[in-house]
Chains A and B, each alone.
Chain A
C-alpha cells in the first residue's frame, strides 16, 4: 500500500504551478497516474502531496493551430488515437499512441505522462540503489541487461520506454513548459536528457515546471509515415525496439526522411545516418536495407542485448519498405 499523502485538484495551471513551487521534491504532479501510482506502490516515490492536473481545462484536448495541432499534455492517449485531426494531419502520432499499453492504459494515461514516464529498467523498478535512485552504479552494465540500451548508454543504460516520443521527434514537435510565471518552448529532440547530461532524470523539466502542451506540425504534404513496435509478445508490452519513420518521396526519389528509434537508447534516438542513406534514392529494397544497416552503425550492445542490433536493422528496413 502507498504511504498516504495530501491531495489537491487545482482548477487552473497557475494555481497548480504555485503549489509546485512551495516544497521542492515533496510534491508530485499526477495526471493519468499510471506511472506515478505504480512507483508509489513500489516505494520508488513517496510524495507528501499530489497535485492533480488532469482536470485543468487548458491542458485538455486537441486543437488546430496555425502550423498544425496543439495537444494539451493531459489529453488521454485514447483521445489522441481516435481524434480525426490527429489521424489526418499527424497520423504517425495516432499510430504510436495506439501502440501504448492496453485499451485501459490508453483510457487512463495522458500524452504528457507518456513522455515523462520513468524508466522500466528492472533494477530501477526493484529499487536497487542505482544512479537513478541517487546511487553510484548502474547494475545493468554488468548484470541482466537483456532489455537495455545499445546506443548512448553510460553511465546508466536505461532505454526510453515511450512510444509517442519517437513519433513526436520525427514529426518535429515542440514541448510547451510552464512554471506558472515562466513559459518556455523546447523542440522535442531537446526535451529528453541523456544519462551523460544528467543521470538522475530523463527530461529537462524542473521540479516546479509542468509540461502543458505539445505542438505538432502537420506532416509535410506527400509524406508517408509508420510506427513499428517490436515486443516480446504481440501486444501489451514496452518496445524491444521501435521505429518512427516519416518519408517524403518526390519524383521517385526520397526528398526527406526522419527515422527515430525507441527502446534502444535512453532517449528517442534519431538516426541521421539512416536518413542520409535514403536521401536522393528511390525507396526500395536496396535503399531500405542500406538504411537499416546505417541505423545500427555505432551500436554498442551489452553482454545480453546483442540481439537488438539485427532486430533494429530489420525493423528499420521493414518500416521503410512498408512506405514504399
Chain B
C-alpha cells in the first residue's frame, strides 16, 4: 500500500514536471513566432498574446507577488499552486465547507470562489502568515492546547475565521463564536473542541 502510494506520487510529480516543460516549450514557440524586433525587452508580453491571462499583483503575508496567470485561476489555486502556500486547503471547491478560508483586506472569504484577478491589489493573509518565526499565533496555540481539530484539514480555515472574528470582537460569547464560525464545517465534528479553542484564544489574545 505504502509502495503504491509512493509510486503514485512519483508518477504525478513526473507528470507535473512534464507539463511544466510543456508550458515552457509553448511559451518559447509563441515567442519564436513573433517577428524579432531587436532587444528581448521589446517582445510583447503574454497579456497581449492571450487576453485570457492577466498579470496579478498582490501581497500575501506581507510579501508582494506579481505573476501572469490565466484569468480563471482562483485565489486558492494561486496560493497553493503558484505560490506553493499549501496551508490553505481545498475541500469542496464550492464555497460550502470553508477549508479554503483566507483573509483578504481584513475579511474572511472563501478563496475557492474568489478569482485571483479580483483579489489583485489586495492584501491576503493565510495560515502561513500567522506565526512569528517559531512562535505560534495565540489562536494557533489555543487550537493546539485544546485539540481544536481531529484530522486537521479544516483547521487553517477555522483559524482564519477565528482571527477575523476576534480582531473585531475580542471578548465574545459562545453563541457569537458559533455564528462567526458557521461558515467553516468540520467533517470530524470536532465542533466542541473548536469552540473551546476559540474561547481560549479570545482569552489568550486579550492577555
What residues on A are CB-neighbors of B183 within 8 Å? 101-105, 236
What residues on A are CB-neighbors of B182 within 8 Å? 102-103, 235-236
What residues on B are CB-neighbors of A14 within 8 Å? none
Q: Does B94 contact A (CB under 8 A)?
A: yes
Q: Count B-side interface residues using an 8 Å CB cutoff.
A: 28
Interface residues of B (CB under 8 A from A): 51-52, 54, 70-72, 74, 93-95, 98, 101, 107-110, 113-115, 117-118, 161, 164-165, 179-180, 182-183
Q: Which among B51, B93, B109, B180 is the interface contact of A6 at CB below 8 angstroms?
A: B51
Q: Count A-side interface residues using an 8 Å CB cutoff.
A: 28
**CA A37 to CA B116, docked complex, whole Å:** 12
What residues on B are CB-neighbors of A54 within 8 Å? 118
Contact with B along A8-52 (1 / 0, CB 8 A): 010000000000000000000010011001101100000000101
Contact A34 B180 (CB under 8 A): no
What residues on B are CB-neighbors of A105 within 8 Å? 95, 110, 183
Interface residues of A (CB under 8 A from B): 1-7, 9, 30, 33-34, 37-38, 40-41, 50, 52, 54, 78, 101-105, 107-108, 235-236
What residues on A are CB-neighbors of B93 within 8 Å? 41
Known: A1-B72, A3-B72, A4-B71. A37 touches B109 (CB 8 A): no
- 6 of the cross-chain contacts (CB-CB < 8 Å) are A7-B54, A34-B95, A37-B74, A37-B115, A104-B161, A236-B183
A to B contact number (C-beta, < 8 Å): 76
Contact A41 B110 (CB under 8 A): no
A54 to chain B, nearest CB (A): 7
Contact A41 B94 (CB under 8 A): yes
Contact A33 B114 (CB under 8 A): yes
Contact B180 A103 (CB under 8 A): yes
What residues on A are CB-neighbors of B115 within 8 Å? 7, 30, 33, 37, 50
Given contacts A37-B115, A105-B110, 18 further A-B contacts (CB under 8 A): A2-B72, A3-B72, A4-B52, A5-B52, A7-B71, A7-B115, A30-B115, A33-B113, A33-B114, A34-B95, A37-B113, A104-B108, A105-B183, A107-B108, A108-B109, A108-B114, A235-B179, A235-B182
**CA A6 to CA B95, docked complex, whole Å:** 23
Contact A104 B52 (CB under 8 A): no
A22 to chain B, nearest CB (A): 14
